[in-house]
């Protein structure tokens, strides 16, 4: 491959990655703020602005682990070239565009994972079976876990003996405690680690012996942040239940949007990991910045229209079911980031909506729609492997590589 062809492919792969990140920013990051808009807690344009900023920050601070999995963990024996990255990204983006155009629930993680497996096999690589098992188990657990967490959350909020001045702050405390343990690249980390959490950082400063394998400082920081979150939202709900709930919706939307950026950006940047890191010798922050710019642009340019549509849907769900869908979304997205597993955020939210709906009876939960959605997810995964394989072969044949 000549130098000019190589740089043309680098440019094409970069543009395709930006386009994929743009599509993810426009489509996958809208749900977190939709309940707050539906409850008139925040305007559409302000929500779109915050989504862009928060998702971009999440991409910068948390996107590395999933990017590495998508770029290097799905195929053994070969490295993803610029041509293969372009073929995989074009395949995944085509699936996402098809979903937007037809209204079918195309999961970005399934399309991207399948496409990268396809191009990797086309390159002559061997399947990374251990990684596939880990990802498959996680994916299969998402619907029941997300649905169960949403069911429990909705049940808590619906109980007559637990007033909203207690139930909503309690959820805020749980979210706050988890946030204290979220690992970010912007927090100073120990030698050999790329990320650290607030609780981990404090425990590194105040060294204490572990008790039964648990660092007591981590526990103390987690509890303090959780109690602080509980008290803040409780004061707001005591002053006005409506304002307190709206405040929680905005805060919850913010942390979920941040998590969405961190969990989704790797789908756009992962295919370029080998190209940028090995072939071009660039630091990881360059690729993360590229993905965050794409997500930011997509959120600002494409999210307002989708926010208006999804906010109406969440308004019909009601505040309790909306909260019930977003809380497990935040928890599972953070777990996926920690494990480096590509995940479809809409998959989590849809499962949460179903679980929250079951807490109020089966009304509004269509078994046929659930079945069609699951079948389409499986079809997306299988067909994206085949199409990614074929597209790379066509590109390689045309370019003689």
Residue found under tokens 């648990």: 214
Instruction: Give the C-alpha distances (Å, rounded to integers) separating 242 from 92, 130, 245, 369.
Output: 42, 48, 5, 33
As separate numbers, helices (DSSP H) first and strands (DSSP E) second, the chain gives: 16, 2
What are 96-128's pLDDT values in tens digits?
877 767 666 678 889 999 999 999 999 999 999
Q: Residue 4 — very low, low, confident or very high, per pLDDT cuts 50/70/90?
A: confident
pLDDT of residue 113: 93
pLDDT in tens, 305-361: 667 666 666 656 677 777 888 888 889 989 999 888 988 777 787 777 777 777 666
**Amino acid 239: pLDDT:** 92
Domain that holds residue 70: 3-399
3-class SS of residue 214: strand
The pLDDT of residue 61: 87
Cα 254 from Cα 324, distance rounded (Å): 15
Asked if 266 and 69 count as a contact pair (C-beta separation under 8 A), the reply is: yes
Instruction: Give the CA distances from residue 187 to residues 84, 119, 345, in Å, rounded to whole numbers and listed in that order.
Output: 34, 36, 25
pLDDT score, position 384: 93
Distance of CA 126 to the CA centre of its chain: 27
CA 222 vs CA 68, 173, 226: distances in Å: 29, 10, 6
How far apart are alpha carbons 323 and 321 in whole angstroms?
5
Average pLDDT value over all residues in the chain: 84
Q: Encode 79-124 in three state secondary structure.
A: CCCHHHHHHHHHHHHHHHHHHHHHCCCCCHHHHHHHHHHHHHHHCC
A 10 A CB-CB count for 94 gives 16
Tell me which residue has tokens 């061997």.
126
Contact 274, 79 (CB under 8 A): yes
Quick check: 81 and 275 in contact, CB under 8 A?
A: yes
pLDDT of residue 46: 85
Q: Is the pLDDT of residue 187 over 70?
A: yes
Tokens at 32, concatenated: 């977190």
Strand, coil or helix: 238 = helix
Tokens of 26: 């426009």
The dihedral built from the CA positions of residue 69, 70, 75 and 76, taken in this order, carries a sign that is negative
What is the number of domains present in the chain?
1
């Amino acid at each position: 491959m000549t130098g000019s062809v190589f740089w043309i492919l680098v440019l094409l792969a970069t543009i395709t990655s930006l386009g994929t990140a743009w599509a993810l920013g426009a489509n996958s990051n809208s749900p977190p703020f939709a309940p707050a808009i539906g409850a008139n807690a925040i305007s559409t344009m302000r929500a779109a602005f915050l989504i862009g900023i928060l998702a971009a920050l999440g991409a910068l601070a948390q996107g590395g682990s999933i990017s590495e999995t998508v770029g290097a963990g799905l195929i053994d024996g070969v490295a993803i070239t610029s041509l293969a990255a372009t073929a995989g990204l074009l395949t995944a983006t085509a699936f996402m565009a098809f979903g937007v155009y037809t209204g079918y629930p195309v999961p970005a993680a399934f399309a991207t994972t399948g496409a990268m497996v396809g191009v990797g096999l086309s390159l002559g690589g061997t399947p990374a079976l251990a990684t596939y098992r880990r990802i498959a188990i996680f994916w299969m657990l998402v619907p029941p876990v997300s649905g169960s967490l949403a069911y429990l959350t909705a049940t808590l909020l619906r109980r007559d003996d637990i007033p909203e001045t207690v139930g909503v702050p309690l959820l805020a405390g749980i979210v706050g405690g988890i946030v204290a343990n979220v690992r970010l690249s912007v927090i100073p980390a120990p030698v050999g680690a790329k990320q650290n959490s607030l609780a981990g950082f404090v425990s590194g400063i105040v060294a204490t012996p572990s008790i039964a394998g648990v660092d007591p400082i981590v526990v103390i920081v987690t509890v303090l942040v959780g109690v602080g979150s509980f008290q803040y939202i409780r004061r707001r709900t005591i002053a006005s239940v409506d304002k307190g709930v709206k405040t929680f919706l905005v805060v919850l939307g913010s942390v979920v949007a941040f998590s969405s950026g961190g969990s989704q950006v790797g789908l756009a940047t992962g295919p370029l990991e080998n190209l940028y890191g090995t072939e071009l010798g660039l630091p990881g922050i360059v690729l993360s910045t590229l993905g965050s710019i794409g997500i930011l642009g997509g959120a600002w340019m494409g999210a307002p229209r989708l926010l208006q549509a999804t906010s109406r849907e969440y308004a019909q769900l009601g505040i309790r079911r909306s909260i019930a869908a977003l809380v497990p979304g935040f928890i599972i997205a953070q777990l996926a980031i920690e494990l480096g597993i590509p995940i479809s955020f809409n998959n989590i939210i849809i499962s949460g909506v179903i679980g929250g709906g079951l807490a109020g009876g089966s009304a509004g939960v269509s078994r046929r729609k659930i079945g069609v959605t699951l079948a389409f997810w499986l079809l997306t995964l299988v067909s994206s492997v085949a199409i990614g394989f074929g597209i790379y072969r066509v590109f390689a044949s045309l370019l003689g590589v």
